[in-house]
Amino acid sequence: MRLLLVNPNMTVAMTDKMAAIARKIAGSRAEIVPLTAQRGFPYIASRAEAQIAGGIALEMIAENLDGIDAVVIAAFGDPGLAGARELFDLPVVGMAEAAVMTAAMLGERFSVVTFSPLMTPWYSDCVEDTGLASRFTGVCTPETRAVDVTRVVTDLRGDLVDLANQAVREDGADVVILGGAPLAGLAPEIADDVPAIVIDPISAAVAQAMTLASLQVQFAGRTCKPAAKSSVGLSPALAEIIATETVQ
Amino acid sequence: MRLLLVNPNMTVAMTDKMAAIARKIAGSRAEIVPLTAQRGFPYIASRAEAQIAGGIALEMIAENLDGIDAVVIAAFGDPGLAGARELFDLPVVGMAEAAVMTAAMLGERFSVVTFSPLMTPWYSDCVEDTGLASRFTGVCTPETRAVDVTRVVTDLRGDLVDLANQAVREDGADVVILGGAPLAGLAPEIADDVPAIVIDPISAAVAQAMTLASLQVQFAGRTCKPAAKSSVGLSPALAEIIATETVQ
Amino acid sequence: MRLLLVNPNMTVAMTDKMAAIARKIAGSRAEIVPLTAQRGFPYIASRAEAQIAGGIALEMIAENLDGIDAVVIAAFGDPGLAGARELFDLPVVGMAEAAVMTAAMLGERFSVVTFSPLMTPWYSDCVEDTGLASRFTGVCTPETRAVDVTRVVTDLRGDLVDLANQAVREDGADVVILGGAPLAGLAPEIADDVPAIVIDPISAAVAQAMTLASLQVQFAGRTCKPAAKSSVGLSPALAEIIATETVQ
Amino acid sequence: MRLLLVNPNMTVAMTDKMAAIARKIAGSRAEIVPLTAQRGFPYIASRAEAQIAGGIALEMIAENLDGIDAVVIAAFGDPGLAGARELFDLPVVGMAEAAVMTAAMLGERFSVVTFSPLMTPWYSDCVEDTGLASRFTGVCTPETRAVDVTRVVTDLRGDLVDLANQAVREDGADVVILGGAPLAGLAPEIADDVPAIVIDPISAAVAQAMTLASLQVQFAGRTCKPAAKSSVGLSPALAEIIATETVQ
Amino acid sequence: MRLLLVNPNMTVAMTDKMAAIARKIAGSRAEIVPLTAQRGFPYIASRAEAQIAGGIALEMIAENLDGIDAVVIAAFGDPGLAGARELFDLPVVGMAEAAVMTAAMLGERFSVVTFSPLMTPWYSDCVEDTGLASRFTGVCTPETRAVDVTRVVTDLRGDLVDLANQAVREDGADVVILGGAPLAGLAPEIADDVPAIVIDPISAAVAQAMTLASLQVQFAGRTCKPAAKSSVGLSPALAEIIATETVQ
Amino acid sequence: MRLLLVNPNMTVAMTDKMAAIARKIAGSRAEIVPLTAQRGFPYIASRAEAQIAGGIALEMIAENLDGIDAVVIAAFGDPGLAGARELFDLPVVGMAEAAVMTAAMLGERFSVVTFSPLMTPWYSDCVEDTGLASRFTGVCTPETRAVDVTRVVTDLRGDLVDLANQAVREDGADVVILGGAPLAGLAPEIADDVPAIVIDPISAAVAQAMTLASLQVQFAGRTCKPAAKSSVGLSPALAEIIATETVQ
């Protein structure tokens, strides 16, 4: 099985880190094919940026579909997810959605802990879009807005542990999701310090992508697919997929 | 007052028709500055297409902001709306959202009637994103999926009237929104045949854009704005706005 | 265009202040026809008072409909709104609803800041009745219940600014509505001190009333209108409207 | 125990019928004190009429509180209920709310069957105001709008039974509420013909009023009570209650 | 009338205390038939325990139905309620649900105050299962998890009063439910110290059971009843009821 | 990895069939350890039966935990799931919940198609308990209540295909879940005949159980675990687990 790990951010170090975690989760079950965006933003942190990066993600997927069994959009906030799911005939998962659905099978109420209040509106919208708002206790962050995403795992580690404890004790969460690619891999390191299950979204997303692929459901013939459409200015691979009529 | 009427679709005839309606609504209050997408799709009809066209809409807005008081995203489904609202320091309205909020001030429960079942999933999502699902009686469409968007107003007129009546009598709607740019301007023509208030979304959107602009609320200093961010491959105007630090 | 500005409170000074703001918003577009309740309460602050004042508002509207294009119910809490909308064949807006719908087109999550905890239950109900509870971060007030409504704008100005900041920073609001007629006109004065968009409900309501009137939707023939009904003890104008059969 | 049975409609025959049912439910536990509105409408059927009749109900209660232990507002739609509950220091129940809460303790999902589509919007709003929309399968009515409320029990009996069966078999209701004062007393007569529990709202309301009174909860000192307020033009008894300061 | 008071906990002292309160509420209207679980747990405090104890409650009811008019499941959290309601042809109420529905007829927003954070997840789920989450301000508890249920009424009295006040002043509750059998009977004792209506769930449940029984609704013929089913290992009385075909 | 496949129904043939499907999904990744209930019901079809069978499921799990990495409760309706998840320190999934969460990662709106209207109330409750009601288009079934569960796959195949098509075309589902153990394995057989993704719940549940186990999250130290508790009459293994204090 081959999984496309699409990082819609431009930061290669982040892709490398996530790919390493993905390979650990995949083991011998799947080959990980990592991709880093060649345009867009170093690190997506808003709905405006996600709008643009989501389109870039669609192109990245279209250009690299060959031999792929499932796709992971490797950014919490899931840029391009709804469109990709509609368009491509294979499983596509997002880090936020996969973390949320996984959390919902491990506990009753989940919190998202992340590194900056700048992420809160976008992440909140994203969780609410899953439909699981009634089981969501909110996003918890440190107060400081200015952060160096390459250092948050070390600089803010104590703060994040405290926030996770607060989410459990005050907000009633029994699962804590560590949201945002810069926190990839932190979950197992702090699990002993948090009185709840802690979820690493990239691990959850990779595991869910393999799960969905393993079910071998049939995508052909879905009426929910868009009708064929001409386009201008898209990458050729994406344009061709959008232009292809599916039988209905 | 100058309103930017951004058609994220590439069909100039559609822009012309909507601009004509917009000018009628605006009268002497506002100058209408219409724009048609130079790339993307003839007519957006899915979430995948909206993901891409929303990014194009952000660029169209950024490149034409000079002297503009408010922006109308002239496609039902509101591609790019959340990002645009976050990014630009002026009012931005979408056709679907404006129609829905207007409907909610004219009646208790609203329906969306449109020309093809292909639009239903995207339009439903869009209405639910406004938060007003509890007052929404659903999307009603003819059964035929293959449509010529340039002829739906004439070809399907009787069907659309029947669907509007059904939405009122069976689903309990007291306001009917005629969704989709191809139906622009139809509302007043069929109002006599529908036992409920009928809303033309482009009219609603233009009127709401002027309303929001007239309130002269202050956009500067909003903490919800994204932090400044470098980027690669965006149009220069959009890149510059995203790169500009706002005081917080 | 002529707008009826119905203050269901008996305080003439409040009507005068709101009429002045309304005229500034309306400019040359509309004539403002202000009315002050001749019976009822100096200042409505509860559901019981709103029940009674809402009936008074219906009478005030019925008696003054001649030549009117739209109605503003000029009290936050919108006494009589649902009934008026059902009964009269023209646009009727309420201050709370108009502020909420306007807020929902300017940002993602809105707060209501007001001057006394006595208002909280009624205002909360009123916002929830709009259907937008999922985008509402709650009512924020100072702790003191005993207030002089004629002085709250000066006496509590600092407190209100602090509450607005707290709504933005702690509750995640990106729009703040200053609820309650005693706060009419305060929004632009404190806009510089609040890191979010600040909305003045009377301005929003007047602007929305003109917007709805400008759309010239057709009210005749709505099946949602009540059937003709005899009555005893109502003001003659209201009784006549209620007794008139509409064609359906 | 003495229960005030406030019919905010002016139809004495309706009051008499409901009082008879109430006396049967109350038996020796409570004396029923029936009141019929002296002004307002023969039969309330809309939100506009309920706005006015709700104010009348508040006056009827205030004028007759002496020696009363609980109040029943004897109209489905519950005109004046929220205000009455806030204002008076004793239990106040409405026919719709009492029927809904009772239904929710007898089954999982309830339907409201009534005699005319004219009632649907108001009844739907009323049920949704209870907060139990997620357990509500909707209002079912015959198609005919013009009805003689004095004859619906006989004329429409077959239709109502059919609608109740449809609510059970198609909509999944396991409790059916026969809404509207004209249907008072019909429930036990058709119970054999409906494969679900059938609720008579006046019976439910009287039983719930006695229940709440029997619990002897303490109303004094509630902070949710409105502050004392002067008024003009109210009936003296109501004005006095509203003008009385409660200790907080 | 005879009411079965089923305590699915094994603590006889708790049954005795609740039976005494029940007899006071029932007066001469009903005979109270108390039962204490012979297996299971001293005091149920989790979903796992409720799963098991709910099955025990079904057996206790089945074995003691003879001559019974209504059943009270005398544990906050309502173990076995949904199943019992479906299975037995008489009214069955739970302490939590009855308290919540009663609260919803006495005020607008209710809080649950209880003695330990260990109860919070289960009680929250239970309230949300009623469908009334939108009127629920949450569960308030002291911080200490280790409690002696036989002494909480005395040891924690001050804390519980403080929590009730906080629920009213900070969370906006106008009704406070004292949840959990160990707090049975405390409500009237602290009513003077809480600025809201205070509800004793066992009183509410007993009163509601009598109310539902007094309505004499017809349970026979409900299509929502399970089909007849053979079983192994159940108590004979329960097995027989489950094996009995009902006419549909 | 070893998965416990707990069939809380007593029908061995059903366990065998599900175990065969489970083994196919698990391949070499996991050993399947199937268990069939020794008491309870041949086939659970109601909330009452699920109450009892859920307790039996807890005992079956407790007695067979040794060497197990994750548990599948192999009945749609998920008897005992919430309690098991709270109690045991390993992943526990239910067939309905796993199917629903999987569906939510493959499409936007899902339907449940099953073989008898007798299942509808219980299945609906179960889906709503996941929190995803807003993405659920409802349960679709043939009309006939009397079914032979061993033959539904063959006898009703055409009906089930028709219902799935109706769920897609009329209700807007883009994923169809074939609910109920008697339909295990049918999904791939009818996938060509349904214009949407079709999910086999036992496959989804087994895949999700392996997914959750592979994430190696830490269960120890969760504050959501019940406190240690003595018990009477439980199976020894379950009693011991409930009696064991966890460190918090």
- Find the closest chain C residue to E109 by CA distance: C121
Q: What per-residue confidence (pLDDT) applies to C149?
A: 82
- Find the closest chain B residue to A81 by CA distance: B48
| Nearest residue to A79 (alpha-carbon basis) of A123, A14, A16, A143 | A123
**Do F184 and F151 share a domain, yes or no?**
yes
Number of Cα atoms under 13 Å in the Cβ half of residue C160: 25
**Do F197 and F101 share a domain, yes or no?**
yes
Residue C166 contacts E, CB cutoff 8 Å: no
The residues, ordered by sequence, that sit 6+ positions from E115 with a Cβ below 8 Å of its Cβ are E141, E142, E147, E149, E152, E156, E160, E180, E182, E183
Chain E hits for A197, CB-CB cut-off 8 Å, are none
Chain C hits for D118, CB-CB cut-off 8 Å, are 226-227
How many Cβ pairs within 8 Å bridge chains A and F?
A: 135
Tell if the CB–CB gap between F172 and B125 is shorter than 8 Å.
no
| A168, part of any domain | yes
Q: What per-residue confidence (pLDDT) applies to F100?
A: 98
Average pLDDT, chain B: 95
Q: Which residue has the tokens 């949710």?
A: D224
pTM score, whole prediction: 0.96
Tell if the CB–CB gap between E124 and A172 is shorter than 8 Å.
yes
Q: What's the Cα-to-Cα distance from C141 to each of C161, C167, F105, rounded to whole Å?
A: 11, 10, 42
- Which subunits count as partners of chain E given 3+ CB pairs below 8 Å? A, C, D, F
Show the domain range for F27: 2-94+205-243
pLDDT at D76 > cutoff 80: yes
Q: What's the domain count of chain C? A: 2
Instruction: Write out pLDDT tens, residues B134-193.
Output: 999 999 999 887 778 888 889 999 999 999 999 999 999 999 999 998 999 999 999 999
Tell if the CB–CB gap between D124 and B172 is shorter than 8 Å.
yes
CA–CA min distance D121, chain B (Å): 8
CA–CA min distance B166, chain F (Å): 15
Q: Is the ipTM of this complex over 0.95?
A: yes
Q: What per-residue confidence (pLDDT) applies to B144?
A: 81
Instruction: Write out pLDDT tens, residues A210-244.
Output: 999 999 999 989 988 899 999 999 999 999 999 99
Residue type, D107: G
Q: Residue B58 is nearest to which of A52, A226, A242, comparing CB atoms?
A: A52
Split at pLDDT 50, 70, 90, the class of C40 is very high
CA D179 to centroid of chain Cα atoms: 9
CA–CA min distance B173, chain F (Å): 18
Tell if the CB–CB gap between F54 and E55 is shorter than 8 Å.
yes
Chain D hits for C41, CB-CB cut-off 8 Å, are 229-232, 242
Chain C hits for A124, CB-CB cut-off 8 Å, are 172
Interface of E with F in 53-82 (CB under 8 A): 54-55, 58, 80, 82
- The CATH number given to whatever domain includes residue D74 is 3.40.50.12500
DSSP secondary structure of E86-107: HHSSS-EEEHHHHHHHHHHTT-
Residue C17: how many other CB atoms lie within 10 Å: 18
Chain E hits for F55, CB-CB cut-off 8 Å, are 51-52, 54-55
Chain E hits for C126, CB-CB cut-off 8 Å, are none
Instruction: Write out pLDDT tens, residues C196-226.
Output: 999 999 999 999 999 999 999 999 899 888 9
pLDDT at D248 > cutoff 50: no
Full strand arrangement of the beta sheet holding F175-178: F136-140, F110-113, F175-178, F197-199
Q: What is the mean pLDDT of residues C151-174?
A: 95
Interface of D with F in 23-52 (CB under 8 A): none
First to last CA, chain D: 28
Q: Residue D226 is nearest to which of C48, C82, C224, comparing CB atoms?
A: C48
Q: What per-residue confidence (pLDDT) applies to C248?
A: 47
Q: Residue F227 is nearest to which of E47, E51, E118, comparing CB atoms?
A: E118
Distance CA D51, CA D49 (A): 5
Split at pLDDT 50, 70, 90, the class of F136 is very high
How many Cβ pairs within 8 Å bridge chains C and E?
A: 9
First to last CA, chain C: 28
| A51, part of any domain | yes
Residue A221: how many other CB atoms lie within 10 Å: 17
The residues, ordered by sequence, that sit 6+ positions from D133 with a Cβ below 8 Å of its Cβ are B134, D127, E131
Interface of C with D in 217-246 (CB under 8 A): 224, 226-227, 229-234, 242
Split at pLDDT 50, 70, 90, the class of D175 is very high
Q: What phi and psi, each to the nearest 5 degrees, are found at residue F110?
A: -120, 150
Average pLDDT, chain A: 95
CA C112 to centroid of chain Cα atoms: 13
For A196, which DSSP code? S
- Which subunits count as partners of chain B given 3+ CB pairs below 8 Å? A, C, D, F
Residue C128 contacts E, CB cutoff 8 Å: yes
CA–CA min distance F80, chain E (Å): 7
Q: What's the Cα-to-Cα distance from D246 to each of C7, C172, D230, rounded to whole Å?
A: 27, 36, 14
**Do D90 and D164 share a domain, yes or no?**
no
CA–CA min distance C54, chain B (Å): 17
List beta partners, residue C178. Answer: C113
| F248, part of any domain | no
**Do B170 and B126 share a domain, yes or no?**
yes
Least confident of B244-248, C99-103, F99-103: B244-248
Contact D141, D121 (CB under 8 A): no
Least confident of A38-42, B8-12, B142-146, C219-223: B142-146
**Do D72 and D126 share a domain, yes or no?**
no
Tens-digit pLDDT string for chain E (248 aa): 999 999 999 999 999 999 999 999 999 999 999 999 999 999 999 999 999 999 999 999 999 999 999 999 999 999 999 999 999 999 999 999 999 999 999 999 999 999 999 999 999 999 999 999 999 999 999 988 777 888 888 999 999 999 999 999 999 999 999 999 899 999 999 999 999 999 999 999 999 999 999 999 999 899 888 999 999 999 999 999 999 977 54
User: How many residues are given for chain E?
Assistant: 248
- Which subunits count as partners of chain C given 3+ CB pairs below 8 Å? A, B, D, E
Least confident of B231-245, D135-149, F159-173: D135-149
CA–CA min distance F132, chain D (Å): 13
Least confident of A73-87, C148-162, E160-174: C148-162
Q: Which residue has the tokens 């009570």?
A: D225
Q: Which residue has the tokens 């344009």?
A: A239
Tell if the CB–CB gap between A48 and B232 is shorter than 8 Å.
no
The residues, ordered by sequence, that sit 6+ positions from E154 with a Cβ below 8 Å of its Cβ are none
Instruction: Write out pLDDT tens, residues B36-74.
Output: 999 999 999 999 999 999 999 999 999 999 999 999 999
**Do D40 and D83 share a domain, yes or no?**
yes
Instruction: Write out pLDDT tens, residues F43-98.
Output: 999 999 999 999 999 999 999 999 999 999 999 999 999 999 999 999 999 999 99
CA–CA min distance A214, chain C (Å): 37
Tell if the CB–CB gap between C172 and A124 is shorter than 8 Å.
yes
B and A interact (at least 3 Cβ pairs within 8 A) = yes
State what percent of residues in chain F have pLDDT above 90: 90
pLDDT at D217 > cutoff 80: yes
Distance CA A140, CA A167 (A): 7
Q: Which two tokens stand for residue E23?
A: 């007899």
pLDDT at D142 > cutoff 80: yes
CA B105 to centroid of chain Cα atoms: 17
**Do C72 and C128 share a domain, yes or no?**
no
CA–CA min distance D189, chain C (Å): 29
**Do B123 and B215 share a domain, yes or no?**
no
Q: What phi and psi, each to the nearest 5 degrees, are found at residue B210?
A: -65, -40
Contact F68, F4 (CB under 8 A): yes
Split at pLDDT 50, 70, 90, the class of F248 is very low
A207: enclosing H helix or E strand: helix A201-214
Q: Which two tokens stand for residue D55?
A: 């104010």
Distance CA D14, CA E193 (A): 43
**Do F181 and F212 share a domain, yes or no?**
no
Contact F167, F140 (CB under 8 A): yes
CA–CA min distance E117, chain A (Å): 9
Q: Which residue has the tokens 């809303």?
A: B199
Split at pLDDT 50, 70, 90, the class of B246 is confident
Q: Which two tokens stand for residue E108?
A: 């607008």
Split at pLDDT 50, 70, 90, the class of C144 is confident
**Do D90 and D104 share a domain, yes or no?**
no
| D37, part of any domain | yes
Q: What phi and psi, each to the nearest 5 degrees, are found at residue C97?
A: -60, -45
| Nearest residue to B98 (alpha-carbon basis) of C106, C197, C1, C73 | C106
Alpha-carbon Rg for chain E, nearest whole angstrom, is 18
| D135, part of any domain | yes
**Do C91 and C210 share a domain, yes or no?**
yes
Q: Which residue has the tokens 């209504």?
A: E70
Tell if the CB–CB gap between E125 and A108 is shorter than 8 Å.
yes
A and F interact (at least 3 Cβ pairs within 8 A) = yes
Chain B hits for D128, CB-CB cut-off 8 Å, are 134
**Do A172 and A137 share a domain, yes or no?**
yes
Q: What is the mean pLDDT of residues B15-44?
A: 97
Residue finishing a domain among F168, F185, F201: F201
CA–CA min distance C119, chain A (Å): 27
Beta strand spans in C80-223 (E): 92-94, 110-113, 136-140, 175-178, 197-199
Distance CA F176, CA F59 (A): 32
D and A interact (at least 3 Cβ pairs within 8 A) = no
Burial D95-116 (b: 16+ CB within 10 A, else e): bbbbbbbbbbbbbbbbbbbbbb
> Is the Cα dihedral D115, D118, D124, D125 positive or negative?
negative
> Is the Cα dihedral A194, A195, A196, A197 positive or negative?
positive
Q: Which two tokens stand for residue E84?
A: 């019992």
State what percent of residues in chain C have pLDDT above 90: 90
Residue type, E154: T
The residues, ordered by sequence, that sit 6+ positions from C39 with a Cβ below 8 Å of its Cβ are C10, C56, D231, D232, D233, D234
Contact B103, B203 (CB under 8 A): no
Full strand arrangement of the beta sheet holding E2-9: E31-41, E2-9, E70-73, E92-94
Contact B198, B227 (CB under 8 A): no
| Nearest residue to A5 (alpha-carbon basis) of A66, A53, A73 | A73
Residue F29 burial by Cβ neighbours in a 10 Å radius (0-12, 13-18, 19+): middle
Q: Which two tokens stand for residue F201?
A: 């719940």
Q: What is the mean pLDDT of residues D63-75?
A: 97
| A248, part of any domain | no
pLDDT at B248 > cutoff 50: no
- Which subunits count as partners of chain D given 3+ CB pairs below 8 Å? B, C, E, F
| F25, part of any domain | yes
> Is the Cα dihedral A213, A218, A219, A224 positive or negative?
negative
Tell if the CB–CB gap between B108 and D128 is shorter than 8 Å.
no
